[in-house]
Structure 1
Amino acid sequence: MKRYQKILVGVDGSSQAREAFDRAVELAKQNEATLIIASILNSDRYVGMGMALGASYINKAAEVDMLGRLQDSGEVLVQQAKAAGIQNVILEVTKGNSKTALAEDLVTKYDADLVVIGATGTNVVERVLIGSNAHFIV
């Protein structure tokens, strides 16, 4: 039976992401796998519709603050995963497009063989306009 070695879980603070994190912890424990917790500051959400306006429109102080908050909440999850018995836990906090980060960039960077994310953290309008991360990854 194939065992997962590196499990990537995307978290964003939503209840769906919490459920995905809990499931990823279970799977990592069962497989004695490395757990990579990824939190991406999705620039598409705070710079109009995508990067069309350019990075110069981003308030850098706000960006640093948001990244710091993601780091802090991610470190709490790292401690929870370790308390659950996961030996190898990596925290990746970055900015960019969460879809490509979770489907391509971080999978390649960490050689992940499983990606776990919540069903959706978007509302109906966002899913119609930009699609969900889950749909994009699949």
Structure 2
Amino acid sequence: MLSEHLARHRPLFDGLAIRYSIEAEDITGFFDRELMTGVLNNIINNAIRYTDRQIRIIARTSDGFLVIAVEDDGKGYPEVMLTEGEASFGAVNFERGSTRLGLYFASAIARLHQQDERQGGIRLSNGGSLGRGVFEIWLP
């Protein structure tokens, strides 16, 4: 599935000289494919927009969750987004051309995924293997 998503963006990667890679454990997960396609397309497009030259997609399991991460080597997430979390997603930044609606919808879609008492979510951080922005969606 991740390879399919990267293939959709390959012409843009090649045209902008962006290197990309996938690191995925041999795992399976249950999720709404259509909703996740929208989330991944949005997050990959944002990574393309903000990266310097490299994007990495990672799939792993952690604490019983399927975790899909998109990392880039751009400037990283602004501090306000890291500290305020979802409260900052509605803040429009006209200078950067950002509505943050993609993060809002990604968070809502993640929460729609539930199993027993567990609910999906998203996490933003700076660091990761590329040292900058890391978006993660956690699905039970």
TM-score band (shorter)? under 0.3
Identify the structure with the greater strand proportion.
Answer: 2
TM-score (norm 2): 0.27
Q: Which has the higher contact order (CA 8 A, sep 6+)?
A: 1
Identify the structure with the greater helix proportion.
Answer: 1
TM-score (norm 1): 0.27
Structure (1 or 2) with the larger CA radius of gyration: 1
